[in-house]
Structure 1
Amino acid sequence: MNKLTVGDLIEKFSLKILAGEDQLQQPITQSRAHRPGLEFVGHFDFFPTERVQILGRKEINYLHKLSHEERKVRIGNIVHYHPPCFIVTAGEEGLTYLTHFCKEERIPLLVANTVETTSEFIIMLDAYLLKNLAPEISIHGVCMNVFGVGVLLRGQSGIGKSELAHTLIGRGHRLVADDMVVLKKLSPRTLLGTHDEKTKEFLALRSIGLLNVVRMYGRKVFQDETRISLDIHLTKWQKDSLNNELEHDQSFTEYMGVKIPSLEIQLQPGRDVAGLIEAAANNWYLRQSGYSAAEEFMSRIEADLTNGRIE
């Protein structure tokens, strides 16, 4: 799992520090934030103490209405568990008492200077935490976004993955990563493909060298990340190994337990491999909607047989 700290949240969301300046290296290990509502009234049966705690307008207004002694008990019960930090989304007015408690317990107290509602801020924060705390691996290959479909191109070194990526860029598609692709597992069914920062926007072409595709072709040819939907293995041409079956059985490649539909494309001079990849992406869309060209073709044949048009 990747490492994330309170300091990373401050940098990402431009948070103001009210307390706990010396505790910004506190680790963040949970990919969802928590709004302590029930905890303020004494229910701690399921209190997720390792999550970032968010205090919105409702929570702050409730605390403001309490007497000094009640506030001491309610807040004291929560800070006792030492969550990684508190983030207030309702402004910093009237937070002297909360600042005092957090300083005593050495817990970072942060304020979000944002125009979003608390719910909107939590959505953004959860998305950031999920992506940055997701398990990840790196694989050798190329990642492209073709017609909105995230495609992995794999194959042995020198097979032509980067050259193919360059052709796809010329046909209006987007590069995500070349040579080293970082895969992040966001859920049991969701795999995100991205770069490793060092190779961002770069494409390495044999005989030409290293290209910055954004500098050459504009921002539209690059995408920072994409959900992986297809895994395509590029192989050398093998005579008589391909057939014209109506539809192949679906194969899968598994990464960190996530199964990705996969297929093999053999390379041969003159073969429009970029066009085949575009066809594969479009066909994936049709499969998602439940359509099968082979099934439709067979239904037409059966209809002709039933009506006596074929004997």
Structure 2
Amino acid sequence: MDGTLAAADLERLRKDFSVNPAYRLAQNAVTRVTIDDVAINREIVSSIDHSLSTTLDDWKVTNQEKSGRCWLFAGLNLLRVGVMRKTGLKDFEFSQNYAMFWDKLERANYFLEAIIETADRDLDDRTVAFLLESVAGDGGQWNMFAALVEKHGLVPKAFMPETQSSSNTARMNSILRYQLRQGARTVRAAAADGAEAARAAKAEIMQVVYRILCIHLGTPPERFDWQWTDKDKKFHRDGVLTPQEFAAAYVDLPVSDYVCLVNDPRPSSPIGRTFTVEYLGNVIGGPPVIYLNVDMQV
């Protein structure tokens, strides 16, 4: 026996399915609605008691939709608490789209600079392969979030709301990935004539990346007129602010003082030491991604 699925095997599978009424009933249901809807246990659903002894603040839930922006949403949710307290707003959201726009642009620049630095290495070098494989992703770290806030500031969601591409990033990311990989080849070739030639090539690629991001996400505001009505129906106006001025005025959390704690039990990673990952970041000149290794109990 060679393990091939023969005609007799396929016929046996077909008959096994077709003669069972339960299988056919499941097929009829699942081809029309989701498997979760079909598999739900109604007795459990109807027996759940939704009364709670402890309730949290009933702020509107933020939704990253079909994107990998969990780190941006987590960071912005941490900061919005202070804004709501300071402004008296019942609910408030920062623009996650604004933060992602600058992350994508800064990360493209970070990637191309890394390509320039590694231009003398072979294409199958492990670091070069890592850079080309991971380009244009959505994920990030705390230090990357802090770098964005420090350099580009923040804006309320109304001034740069979600778009189709910010809520479902796959297609936009595939376009960026193609352009940046093509750009990496151009930059590597230009690097043979020196760093100045490589950065001239990079500038042209960055112009394309900026255009793609504006088309997909909108153009980020340079300034906006900040005014609001609080939960007591009282009107406030703070005038025209830049995103950096808005962040400085309304973010009361010392973002740069926070650190990332990890537990790496390997002997090569002693407790109490800080670590980083080469070529993990977004803003050139921003704080590096740093992890402090601590005991699991900590």
Q: How does the TM-score come out when normalised to structure 2?
A: 0.22
Larger fraction in strand: 1
Q: How does the TM-score come out when normalised to structure 1?
A: 0.21
Instruction: Find the structure with the greater CA-based Rg.
Output: 1
Larger fraction in helix: 2
